[in-house]
């Protein structure tokens, strides 16, 4: 059983022919990722306030960094202060005037509220559309619309907006991440998803979700041994399982179980159990690995 789950939920009529050519999206070097790496380290250590300050610094230098804004919003969600950050961004929008950049941030704030109140997703969509009216080249607004439709499970429409966002900003990791997820999970095209996540990892190698979904794409392609290093790296970067770290461990354990490497599977499941002690899935798989390990050779079969 493989789980495709987003904790970080920041996470169109598609009349566009789309061919995955990740290398064609960016002809220059990727922006420096050192500040994002430091901010993510704070986030994945559970230091929400410190992470917010660091991601704010990233946004000040690169207002188009949708992923940085998503992490800020997720930190406030984990602090149980959604109303606080939404109110703050509403105030900032009023002070800045309604322009493409401020309206896009407001749309993202309403998208966060949509996690608690689904009707807020329509408010978010309204702000993103207004942002595009003000600035048709605003990539964050297109990514935002993609996120709304992704949340609504309207994947063809979401895909079209992510593609459009990437045509405007080839470094938008959030748009790449969600586009890759659509290709992997909904369209069952792991080879194309792999090309997307190769680009994500090139842009931001310390982004744990990029590592996880790269491993997932390889898993779906039947390249199990190649998937393991990416899954382990995801778990290293997200040791508390705030986003994909826990799922990375369970999928890695499943690979070892499938390959009849029962000691390795047990060790990985034990690690996953520390992250989520109440996981019945891990309990079942750990029990299965131990049973198969102790079974006579004639009874040991492929998982």
For 267, the token pair is 């060790």
Does 197 map to a domain? no
| 11 pLDDT higher than 50 | no
Calculate the CA 62 to chain-centre distance. Answer: 19
Give the tens place of pLDDT for each residue, 191-207: 999 999 999 999 999 99
| 12 pLDDT higher than 80 | no
CA dist 153 → 74, 150, 271 (Å):
20, 5, 32
Average the pLDDT over 69-87 and give the result.
96
Question: 28 falls in which pLDDT band (50, 70, 90)?
Answer: very low
Does 58 map to a domain? no
| 71 pLDDT higher than 70 | yes
What is the full DSSP assignment across 139-196? HHHHHHHHHHHHHTT-HHHHHHHHHHHHHH-TT-HHHHHHHHHIIIIIS--HHHHHHH
For 159, the token pair is 């895909």
Does 38 map to a domain? no
Closest CA to 32 of 69, 3, 15, 57: 57
| 2 pLDDT higher than 90 | no
| 39 pLDDT higher than 50 | yes
Does 157 map to a domain? no
Does 284 map to a domain? yes
Does 141 map to a domain? no
Calculate the CA 145 to chain-centre distance. Answer: 16
Give the tens place of pLDDT for each residue, 253-264: 999 999 999 999
Residue 28 per-residue DSSP state: S
Does 300 map to a domain? yes
Domains in the chain: how many in total? 1
* Domain residue limits at 252: 204-303
Residue bearing tokens 């705030």: 242
Does 90 map to a domain? no
Decide if 5 contacts 238 (C-beta within 8 A). Answer: no
| 111 pLDDT higher than 70 | yes
pLDDT of residue 32: 57
Residues in Cβ contact with 298 at an 8 Å cutoff, skipping those fewer than 6 apart: none
Question: Which domain CATH number covers 260?
Answer: 1.25.40.10
- pTM of the shown model: 0.86
Give the tens place of pLDDT for each residue, 159-180: 999 999 999 999 999 999 999 9
pLDDT of residue 182: 98
């Amino acid at each position: 059983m493989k789980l495709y789950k987003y904790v970080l939920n920041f996470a169109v009529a598609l009349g566009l022919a789309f061919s995955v050519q990740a290398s064609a999206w960016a002809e220059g070097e990727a922006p420096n990722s050192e500040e994002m790496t430091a901010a993510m380290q704070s986030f994945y250590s559970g230091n929400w306030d410190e992470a917010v300050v660091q991601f704010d610094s990233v946004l000040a230098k690169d207002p188009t960094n949708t992923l940085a804004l998503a992490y800020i919003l997720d930190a406030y969600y984990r602090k149980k202060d959604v109303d606080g950050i939404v109110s703050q961004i509403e105030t900032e929008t009023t002070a800045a005037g309604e322009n493409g950049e401020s309206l896009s941030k407001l749309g993202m704030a309403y998208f966060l509220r949509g996690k608690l109140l689904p009707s807020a997703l329509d408010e978010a969509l309204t702000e993103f559309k207004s942002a595009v009216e003000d600035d048709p080249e605003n990539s964050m607004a297109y990514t935002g619309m993609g996120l709304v439709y992704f949340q609504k499970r309207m994947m063809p429409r979401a895909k079209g907006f992510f593609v459009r966002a990437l045509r405007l900003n080839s470094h938008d990791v959030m748009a790449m991440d969600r586009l890759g997820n659509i290709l992997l999970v909904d369209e069952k095209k792991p080879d194309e998803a792999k090309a997307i996540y190769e680009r994500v990892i090139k842009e931001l190698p310390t982004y744990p979700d990029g590592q996880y979904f790269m491993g997932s794409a390889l898993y779906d392609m039947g390249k199990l041994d190649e998937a393991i290093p990416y899954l382990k790296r995801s778990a290293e970067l997200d040791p508390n399982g705030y986003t994909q770290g826990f799922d990375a461990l369970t999928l890695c354990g499943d690979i070892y179980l499938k390959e009849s490497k029962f000691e390795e599977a047990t060790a990985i499941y034990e690690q996953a159990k520390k992250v989520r002690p109440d996981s019945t899935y891990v309990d079942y798989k750990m029990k299965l690995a131990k049973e198969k390990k102790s079974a006579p050779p004639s009874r040991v079969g492929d998982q």
